[in-house]
Structure 1
């Protein structure tokens, strides 16, 4: 594993830092974590402006082909920029699903004319995309989805429901996985489309979360008509197309959520317990050491993936390790902070709560982190089977026609 930048990588990092220094506020220990989910008009405008600014400066679509408005750069350059941007307070999250998952899928399967139409506006922040995958009865088992698409001439008629769709209430377009043939095994009868989220037959209902945000959504389709030209990949080949999206998703959702261990250390240094800073308490110090060690482990595991990218290699399923560990750490950090606060931990109003209520918000939103981007149980299976080489789960329905499943 090589932890040092090459000369070219160091030069690129310096360019990214110069852009960020000139246009964004550096994150420090007094900076409250942003709350993705509470996106009002002001926050959405800030996100649009920042995305447009990044695009104009050449730091959006870093890996995208130049033909579609990208920079034609490398994966390592994209990671370097993301590393540097994480040190600044910028509006992130609104565009990550579209630019990190949906548009890469479009670039793999859409037509030249479609890419000319959709990539530029997405890159400049003018249009937002979402990913319509999970359903009430098909979350971890995505291939068990029941949203149906039935062909009618040059169109498809779609009926069904999606759930937990992040950002659907803000989105202009989405990629949609449907079932087009129930007479074959569940992985073989799927087809992917991209859709207009404002078309007749699409209804978005935000889900009010216990954190107070409404970032997740239910999406209902009632006789939604989609042209066949909006199909991505061959009929029945939707699982292959979905895997393209999911592989990009692993990279796009791999960052450590805030408040992180550095935020907690800053809090422990300033918050008093028994007349002294909490950081001096031996029990707190022991918990910090344990969490910090896991954070360092994830960081170094990510460095291995970065090294592979730097060498032109493709990282493997080990990227799931960081996603799994980070989601659990987020809950643990928040719980520890609230234990320290005692009764004050029940107050989440940023105006009066310690640390602006960021740990309370984190605890309430952290269960979603253990579901989004693959549940913790699914990630454990991936790590067990594809990283450690352990025997796979028994899958009795693998070769059974979907319509014959109970």
Structure 2
């Protein structure tokens, strides 16, 4: 599966700061110190309704991670999946009378278009669950043969009790885990499971649903969590720098994935940091496909909204915060974009070297994009009111905003 084209990232003078970021597992801020190649895995979409503003906010956060790392002169090895076979996708296809593969392909293509318009840097490897199945089956077999998985009516479940570190990503108690498992694709009420929290690794073929050859597992399709584990281990290996996604993935998805990988390899941890973006609401409720309260990037673009303004609207909120999309949020972003473009359109301006360092420091401090925007606001306000004599300043500001914030002025 191919990703989307990369926009050029301008080089800035000097060197960026190492990233200090909030780690869900420890509950505190840690300083990431990758080697020459920083490794990041971000969980991708289930392509049956893409791309709403919640998606965009999440991928914007991890785009900033990439940009901070690139500014430290590192390379970035970024991997993202597409869950192109799963219950919600199949259910939507049945509801709408569509072929599920055509639905997945159409929505994935739309997602690529949106990511391109928003100038999100693409992953090096963009992998669909279906194409990963040949690598998933042997992992499930290994877990089963090692006694870490068991069969139940043809389905194969992972035993969470085989990982001594289980629970260490989300740090939730058993009852909270059970409630979230029921809400987020698990089946804690299924009889005869060893532990209600045990997640499915391989679903035996169901009538009327797609299935693949599972070798000794029999025909079926993979569970949600093992999909990402197989892709991450194949392309990044254990101990990569950041596992990312929305805050609703901390449990069960990232918790279960970490346990799968740690039992498979005997190594710990799966990722050095677990980083989670907040939720975006509309009309007081979390924006979600099940509720249907979605604001789509493609619809805004079709209505003539500049993608740079959409990106500024996302950047105006700290990535870990939960916030609400409103018409005013977008209007403020459009106004800000106009002020910034007016400021850099002058042939010369106020010195900007200090601004570059302010933006770098803000982003290195747990991706504090609102602080970075405020720094550019101050420069633009003075620039529009007073002007300056530095011929290189407007260009330097434009390159900084492009390189570090992904906004083309």
TM beyond 0.5: no
Q: TM-score, normalised by structure 2?
A: 0.24
